[in-house]
Amino acid sequence: AQSVTQPDIHITVSEGASLELRCNYSYGATPYLFWYVQSPGQGLQLLLKYFSGDTLVQGIKGFEAEFKRSQSSFNLRKPSVHWSDAAEYFCAVGFNDMRFGAGTRLTVKP
Amino acid sequence: KAGVTQTPRYLIKTRGQQVTLSCSPISGHRSVSWYQQTPGQGLQFLFEYFSETQRNKGNFPGRFSGRQFSNSRSEMNVSTLELGDSALYLCASSTQDRDEGQYFGPGTRLLVL
């Protein structure tokens, strides 16, 4: 069965620092992988997706993610965090029946 | 293009009642999926409709049901509401082209008293 693990429930980084959010997945075949962001009281916004091809994927808002099949990971990165990046981030696997991780809440310190 | 819209945005019901939530997908999107988000269980897949047919179903009781109309708009219904049904219900739409991904609406926040 497909599943997603986000090991970090809460991460705090300083504005301008780099960010890496971890995601590990379990999937029987080549996975469809996604990162979404959710601001308080809002729906989910798609940051980026991976289906095949280049394992380094560029998304919106300066985010990127790297697919590593050998580690079953799809970690999200950003070189310099802005205060507006504070939100909850979800990794997901699947497609129209996506399974989500528990989410990582990002706090940005001034 | 207009995004996914969901109505109503907020709803308060009492135990035992039933509720119907509506979702209008992005124009041209024929697949609609529903998700429940709660603090305890996180985001959970409810079901997916494509061309008026339920294509996938999550692990929820039969009190949760849905349908899709010929214009791709979808409704979900919850009967005999329980306190634990209080949640944010999210709808997402997508095209047949899986490279596009799913796009979510703002959700309907349901409170059951």
Express each pLDDT in B9-48 by its tens digit: 999 999 999 999 999 999 999 999 999 999 989 999 999 9
Q: Which of A28, A36, A58 is nearest to B104 (CA)?
A: A36
Does the distance separating the beta carbons of A51 and B48 come in below 8 Å? Answer: no
Question: To the nearest whole angstrom, how far is the Cα of A97 from the nearest Cα of chain B?
Answer: 6
> What does the pLDDT look like over A34-93, one tens digit per residue?
999 999 878 899 999 998 888 999 999 999 999 999 999 999 999 999 999 999 999 998
Q: Does A83 touch chain B (CB under 8 A)?
A: no
Does the distance separating the beta carbons of B45 and A99 come in below 8 Å? Answer: yes
3-state helix, strand, coil in chain A (%, to 5): 10, 50, 40
pLDDT value at residue A100: 92
Q: Does A43 touch chain B (CB under 8 A)?
A: yes
Question: To the nearest whole angstrom, how far is the Cα of B80 from the nearest Cα of chain A?
Answer: 25
Does the distance separating the beta carbons of B90 and A43 come in below 8 Å? Answer: yes
> What does the pLDDT look like over A11-42, one tens digit per residue?
999 999 999 999 999 877 778 899 999 998 78
Angstrom distances, CA of residue A80 to CA of A15, A18, A102, A103, B7: 7, 5, 24, 21, 37
Angle ∠(B92,A103,A25) on CA atoms, nearest 5? 85
Question: To the nearest whole angstrom, how far is the Cα of B17 from the nearest Cα of chain A?
Answer: 25
Whether A26 contacts A33, CB under 8 Å: no
Angstrom distances, CA of residue A73 to CA of A44, A104, B38, B46: 21, 15, 25, 25
Q: Which residues of A touch B102 (CB under 8 A)?
A: 34, 46, 95-96, 98
Q: Which of A95, A23, A42, A50 is nearest to B104 (CA)?
A: A42
| Whether residue B99 has pLDDT greater than 70 | no
Q: Which residues contact B43 (CB under 8 A, 6 or more apart)?
A: A90, A92, A100, A103, B35, B36, B37, B90
Task: Report the residue of B36, B43, B56, B68 to disrupt the A interface, i.e. the one with the largest count of A CBs within 10 Å.
Answer: B43
Q: Rounded to an integer, what distance in angstroms lies between the CA atom of residue A38 and that of residue A40?
A: 7
